[in-house]
Amino acid sequence: MMTAPEITCVHDCHAVLGEGPFWDVREQRLYWVDIKSRLIHRFDPSAGRDETWPMPEDVGSLAPRDRGGLVVALKSGFHFYDPVERELAPAALPDGEPANNRFNDGKTDRQGRFWAGSMDDAEKVPTGGLYCLEPNLRCRKMVDGIICSNSLCWSPDSRTMYYADSWRRTVWAWDFDPATGDIANRRVFITVAADAGIPDGATVDSEGFIWIAQWGGWRLVRYDPTGKIVRTIMMPVEQPSCPAFGGSSLDIMYVTSASIHLSADRIARQPQAGGLFSVDAGVKGLPEARFRG
């Protein structure tokens, strides 16, 4: 039997809705967001220090840019942010996003496009969709009819894209064309059982297995590429939200979490809710690409 891995709360900060961890290989730091506190965070594990930058709107996800600074998915769409000058500038504001929507899960594909999904902020109606922002700033809507966009990640060979609607408990897979970013042949990858939470953020490890944070299920689950559960890691928090590999050897899994919607007595049973965790899962991740635009 596999022993339980070491899990450490590396930053016990009670985020409301911690999300979107992104390990920047160049800076050796972990960017992440607290969507509802409207904060960009950057954690430096070598110093044990976390910095924050306030945003004017809910901030769903981000990625560092090749030329420096960040691309961020705010409620109103894609923006560039310069953390040194603290300047925000619109990059692409998709038309037709209803007022009830905000942006949520997002990251770069291995070719350096930035993808982010939107969602109904009340998590009731399927007004969300998935957008792809290309380095030339062309912005395309790729999927629609989604209640809550999550679990975006790509196989190591970039031939498969994964993406979920959390409230349908379903993660789909698509054939992915790395040259064009086109997606095709949508099929169900997994459906999460009712007692195991709902699929939230995901990442792919160097063996091509998919790790999914199961919100409400107190767990991280590792799936093989056929969708079979091969490992379950129980977390000390009910709402783990997203994993990302980091560290100089990409062998530390960082996991964000949320304290939103938890009553005082539930929080009492998980005092680190909203913290940032490291998990020694015994596998390595893959480096994430910076946004090329």
Applying CB under 5 A, the residues found at the interface with Ca ion are: 19, 105, 150, 200-201
Residues 6+ apart with CB under 8 A from 60: 19, 20, 33, 35, 73, 74, 75, 102, 103, 104, 105, 106, 116
Note whether 97 binds ligand BGC by CB under 6 A: no
**Which residue's structure tokens are 């007004």?**
127
Instruction: Name the residue nearer to ligand BGC (CB basis): 69 or 151.
Output: 151
Q: Please classify residue 267 by burial: count the beta carbons closer than 10 Å to its beta carbon, then call 0-12 exposed, 13-18 middle and 19+ buried.
A: middle
Amino acid at 132: C
What letter does residue 46 receive in the DSSP assignment?
A: T
**Residue 157 partner contact from ligand BGC, Ca ion, none using kind-dependent CB cut-offs of 5 to 8 Å:** none
Residue of 105, 109, 120, 238 that binds ligand BGC (CB under 6 A): 105
User: Whole-angstrom Cα distance, residue 226 to residue 162?
Assistant: 12
Site for ligand BGC in 110-139 (CB under 6 A): 123
- Provide, rounded to whole angstroms, the least separation between the CB of residue 255 and ligand BGC: 13
- For the question of residue 200 being annotated catalytic, the response is yes
Instruction: Name the residue nearer to ligand BGC (CB basis): 121 or 288.
Output: 121
- Provide, rounded to whole angstroms, the least separation between the CB of residue 109 and ligand BGC: 19
214, β-bridge pairs: 199, 219
Catalytic residue among 200, 224, 265, 280: 200
- Provide, rounded to whole angstroms, the least separation between the CB of residue 121 and ligand BGC: 8
Q: Give the DSSP per-residue string, 225-255.
A: TTS-EEEEEE-SSS-EEEEEEESTTS-EEEE
Residue of 37, 101, 127, 150 that binds ligand BGC (CB under 6 A): 150
Task: Map 111-149 to HEC letters.
Answer: CCCEEEEEEECCCCCCCEEEEEECCCCCEEEEEEEECEE
Residue of 148, 220, 252, 286 that binds ligand BGC (CB under 6 A): 148
Site for ligand BGC in 240-269 (CB under 6 A): 241
Amino acid at 283: V
Catalytically active residues, by annotation: 200
Name the site residues for ligand BGC (rule: CB under 6 A): 17, 19, 35, 104-105, 123, 148, 150, 166, 198, 200, 215, 241
